[in-house]
Structure 1
Amino acid sequence: MNGRYPFLVSIPHGGTSVPPEVRGLVNLTHKEIVFNSDPHTRLLYGFDDAVEALVDFDVSRVFVDTNRAPYDYPPRSQDGVVKVITQDGTPVFRKGRTPGRELIGALLQNYYHPFHGRLTGALDTLPIEIAFDCHSMLPRSPPVRMDAGRPRPLFCLSNRGDRNGKPKTAGGLVTCPPEWLRALARSFQAEFEGEGRVAMNDPFRGGFISVAHYRRRRIPWVQVEINRGFYETPDREVDEARLAGLRGRIFSAVAGFWDEVSG
């Protein structure tokens, strides 16, 4: 034993960089790119020394979203592996400059596939017993979603199931045992008692990363979302000391869950 928890932590949306392949095509300011990424998640979930593996990503999800299927790109999709519009409907690229198939292929080859390769390598070579795909979410559902304006919980934990973590249909896929997801929710609720609601599969049920890698290895995956309103001001300012404190509490909740289910 090396003293580390047998966890893989994936942080796919924490990066804010613009790939050189699309520089000159972009319609967004740096501030807009940061807002439409998952800023601060690399600090919030930066459990490097306490877990078996941590895989993060430098590029903004606006340009390469590793939590989307590689075939889900424009014009087929506006919110796929390469975005056409932001969460508030702003065009990502200048008029007439949306990447075509060749450029999208280069982005997949240079950034998307290497990220997934790192996840695969960790799952195949390290003693991983559960993986967490870690994100942040806006306090309310953004304008581009069907539930626009709906308030969101403090945390959302997802396994592709229903709001109790169970399969939505008989024999349906869940990426983590329902009893594990409920134990994780209890641990988060205990750690953050009185500060907000911990929901399961609401408003998110888990994305491409957790489903694809669960199907390949059958190692459990949970998607974790924290409400940005918990640590950002209305002007989107943050206190790094508060973020560091939250990181410790999030890890305490995850570690407490594991101590319960693995004991």
Structure 2
Amino acid sequence: MTASVFDLTRGDGPLVISMPHCGTELSPGLAERLTPEALTLSDTDWHIPRLYDFAGKLGATLLSARFSRYVVDLNRPPDGKSLYPGQATTGLCPDTLFDGRPLYRDGQAPGAAEIADRVETHWRPYHDALEAELARVKARHGFALLYDAHSIRSHMPRLFDGRLPDLNLGTARGTSADPALIARIRSVMETAATAEGLSCVTDGRFVGGHITRHYGRPAEGVHAFQMELAQDRYMDEDGPPFAYRSDRADRLRRVLTPLLESLAGWRP
């Protein structure tokens, strides 16, 4: 296991929080191959560890990527199969930005051998660690809870129409967690979001990526959720330096805190 590609803080509770797209490091030599637009790392899930920094007090285990999704997307299957057939998306080792502009300079995109190497050196260690942590907390508690934390710009016409809801809960269309737990978490989210004047949806445009779909096995005692947040609710999303905005984030955290408290406090 190559610890340098991720950061891990172990907790003693049943909740594991995965943050696969918060990384900003680039592998050696990659920066010189990227377009000027790509070098801003605009598609990063900015500030996600800071936004969820309260989760450690809930006994959660925190696993966060150090490297950019431009190296390899940890929320895609290793064979690169599309998770949203027929819809615009980005791949395992993306060659375009979310808005469709090229990620690489002409002739600099990775070939099959380089992609396979990135899977082994970056994708595999993260997933080995995630699987090991889920197994550890399941052995201790008899079950495991996985929360996959994401964010994206609130307007992205290539990926979705109009403005994205503020909170987008994904449950792989009701299959990645116990139905009663899904109903519980959805209710907490909707109540807290309404109180804060925020919008929310369950299994809308984002139903959960590879992590939610692969690890969410309620029959085996592993219950998984994905949360996609609209970035303008906690940061300046339109361009560098993509600053964190506490005045916005505090409002969002007043929804995320009871949601994670409810999740961490659930027992089968």
After TM superposition, give the deviation of residue 190 of structure 1 in Å. 2.5
Partner of 1:251: 257
| One-letter amino acid of the counterpart of residue 123, structure 2 | Y
Alpha-carbon distance in structure 2 between the residues aligned to 1:224 and 1:181: 13
Query: Aligned to 2:33, what secondary structure does the other structure show?
Result: coil
Does the aligned pair in 1 maintain the 2:35–2:102 contact within 8 Å?
Answer: yes
Greater displacement, 202-211 / 191-200: 191-200
Per-residue deviation, residues 161-213 of structure 1 (Å, max 9, x unmatched) = 1xxx4xxxxxxxx1012331221121122223242222100121111011112
Residue type matched to 1:144 in 2? Answer: R
> How many angstroms apart in 2 are the aligned matches of 1:68 and 1:233?
26
CA distance in 1, matches of 2:179, 2:93: 32
- Which segment is superposed worse, 7-16 or 240-249? 240-249
Alignment of 1:13-32 (within 5 A): 13-20=21-28, 22-29=30-37, 32=40
CA distance in structure 1 between the partners assigned to 2:105 and 2:162 by the alignment: 30
- For residue 256 of structure 1, report the CA deviation from its aligned partner: 2.8
Deviations 1:191-245 (A, max 9, x none): 2324222210012111101111225955010001121121224644332475467
Change (3 A) 1:210 1:139: same
1:44 aligns with 2:44: no
Distance (Å, rounded) in 2 between the aligned partners of 1:103 and 1:209: 23
Q: Which residue of 1 aligns with 2:171?
A: 159
Match of 2:191 in 1: 190
Q: By how many angstroms is 1:65 displaced?
A: 0.5
- The answer to whether 1:110 aligns with 2:125 is no
Go from structure 1 to structure 2 and tell me whether the alpha carbon gap of 1:102 and 1:234 turns closer, same or farther (over 3 Å shift): closer
**Structure 2 CA distance for aligned equivalents of residues 184 and 32 of structure 1:** 35
Name the residue aligned to 1:225: 228
Counterparts of 2:237 and 2:89, CA distance in 1: 27
CA shift, 1:253, in A, is: 2.1
**1:55 maps to which residue?**
63
The equivalent position to 2:157 in structure 1, one of 143, 147, 154, is: 143
Residue 40 of structure 2 aligns with an amino acid whose one-letter code is E
Offset from partner CA, 1:72-119 (integer Å, 9 cap, x none): 189xx9721100100111111110110011211221111110000110
What is the Cα-based RMSD across aligned positions, in Å? 2.8
- Give deviations 1:41-84, integer Å, cap 9, x for gaps: 1211232343342111011112210000111189xx97211001
Partner of 1:262: 267
- Ranges in structure 2 where 5+ consecutive residues have no aligned partner: 1-9, 83-87
Q: Secondary structure at the match of 2:17?
A: strand
Q: TM-score, normalised by structure 1?
A: 0.81
Q: How many residues get paired?
A: 244
**Could you tell me the percent identity over the aligned residues?**
22
Gaps spanning 5+ residues in structure 1: where? 166-173
Maintained 8 Å contact 1:133/1:210 = yes
Identify if the C-alpha distance between structure 1 residues 54 and 78 changes in structure 2 by more than 3 Å, giving closer, same or farther.
same
Does the Cα contact within 8 Å between 1:187 and 1:254 map onto a contact in 2? no
Shift of 1:160: 1.0
Structure-2 change in CA distance of 1:132 and 1:244 (3 Å): same
The one of 61, 86, 89 aligned to 2:97: 86
Secondary structure at 1:20 match in 2 = coil
| Bigger shift: residues 48-57 or 236-245 | 236-245
